[in-house]
Structure 1
Amino acid sequence: MSTAGELQALLRFLSKDAKVPLASAMGQVKALQAKDLTTIEKLAKAKQEDMLSLFPEEKMAKQIIAAAKRATKKRGAGETDNATASTPAKKKRKEGGLFAQDVVSPAELEASLSLPESSATEDELASVVLFTNRAPLVLAFALTLLKYTMPEQPLSSRLSLAQGYVSTTSRARGVNLGIVSGKSAEEEGFGEGQPIVNVMGKELRVLRRWGYQWRSQREEGTEDTSQTKKLEEMNQEDKEQEEQNGMNEQPALWALDLEALKKANTIGPVVADTTSGNHGNLPIYTPQSARAYILKSFDSAPASGSDSSKGKKLSAASKAEEKERNLGKLLHALDLLYSSWAETIGPDELNKRTWGWYVKVRPDVPNGVAGWGGKNEVKLADILNLRRTVTLLGHTM
Structure 2
Amino acid sequence: MAAAGALQALLRFLSQDARVPLAAAIEKSKHLQQAGLVSPLDISKSSLESLKSIFPDEKVAKQVLSAAKRVVKRHPADSPSSSAKKRKASLMGDESTTSPAALEASLALPEGATDEEDITNTVLLTNRAPLLLAFAVALLKYTMPDQPLSSRLSLAQAAVSVNSRSKAVSLGLEHGKSAEEEGWGQGQPTVKIMGREIRVLKRWGYEWVERPIGSAKHVKLEHVEDTPIIPQAEVAQESVPPALWALDLEALKKGKGSLKAGMQSGANSDLPIYTAQSARAYLLKSFNSAPATDPTPSVSPKKKPNSSTKVAEKERNLGSLLCALELLFESWATVLDAQELDKRAWSWYVRVRPDVEHGVAGWGGKGNVKLGDILALRRKG
Please give the TM-score of this superposition, normalised by the length of structure 2: 0.66
**2:295 is the counterpart of 1:301:** no
Residue identity matched to 2:343: K
Q: Judging by fraction of residues, say which structure has more helix.
A: 1
Partners of 1:197 and 1:205 within 8 A in 2: yes
Residue identity matched to 2:376: N
Distance 1:108 1:270, change over 3 A: farther
CA RMSD after TM alignment: 3.0
Partners of 2:100 and 2:206 within 8 A in 1: yes
Matches within 5 A, 1:114-133: 114-133=108-127
Matches within 5 A, 1:257-268: 257-265=248-256
- CA deviations on 1:179-199 (whole Å, 9 max, x unpaired) are 111110001100001011111
Q: 2:346 aligns with which of 352, 355, 367?
A: 355
Match of 2:136 in 1: 142
Separation of aligned partners in 2, 1:247 and 1:97: 26
The count of residues paired between Structure 1 and Structure 2 equals: 274
Separation of aligned partners in 2, 1:283 and 1:272: 16
Distance 1:106 1:267, change over 3 A: closer
Q: 2:199 aligns with which of 205, 215, 233?
A: 205
- Aligned residue for 2:96, secondary structure, equals helix
Match of 1:24 in 2: none
1:249 Cα deviation from its structure 2 partner: 2.5
1:95 Cα deviation from its structure 2 partner: 8.1
Separation of aligned partners in 2, 1:146 and 1:272: 33
Separation of aligned partners in 2, 1:252 and 1:267: 22
Residue identity matched to 1:256: L
- CA deviations on 1:1-59 (whole Å, 9 max, x unpaired) are xxxxxxxxxxxxxxxxxxxxxxxxxxxxxxxxxxxxxxxxxxxxxxxxxxxxxxxxxxx
**2:180 is the counterpart of 1:191:** no
Separation of aligned partners in 2, 1:197 and 1:279: 27
**2:361 is the counterpart of 1:370:** yes
Residue identity matched to 1:174: A
Partners of 1:191 and 1:271 within 8 A in 2: no
Match of 1:175 in 2: 169
Partners of 1:254 and 1:284 within 8 A in 2: yes
Q: 1:160 aligns with which of 144, 154, 161?
A: 154
Partners of 2:171 and 2:359 within 8 A in 1: yes
Separation of aligned partners in 1, 2:200 and 2:263: 11
Separation of aligned partners in 2, 1:266 and 1:256: 12
Q: 2:337 aligns with which of 324, 346, 350?
A: 346
Match of 2:237 in 1: 246
Partners of 1:139 and 1:166 within 8 A in 2: yes
Partners of 1:200 and 1:355 within 8 A in 2: yes
- CA deviations on 1:67-124 (whole Å, 9 max, x unpaired) are xxxxxxxxxxxxxxxxxxxxxxx9x966874353013111110000000113521111
Separation of aligned partners in 2, 1:268 and 1:182: 19
Unaligned segments of structure 2, at least 5 residues: 1-83, 214-234
Residue identity matched to 1:322: E
Partners of 1:193 and 1:272 within 8 A in 2: no
Distance 1:97 1:344, change over 3 A: same
Match of 1:100 in 2: 94
Separation of aligned partners in 2, 1:178 and 1:162: 24
Please give the TM-score of this superposition, normalised by the length of structure 1: 0.64
Match of 1:287 in 2: 276
Aligned-residue sequence identity (percent) comes to: 59
Distance 1:182 1:287, change over 3 A: same
Partners of 1:96 and 1:283 within 8 A in 2: no
Unaligned segments of structure 1, at least 5 residues: 1-89, 225-243, 391-397
Distance 1:100 1:189, change over 3 A: same
Residue identity matched to 1:192: Q
1:280 Cα deviation from its structure 2 partner: 7.9
Distance 1:316 1:271, change over 3 A: farther
- Aligned residue for 2:95, secondary structure, equals helix
1:312 Cα deviation from its structure 2 partner: 2.0
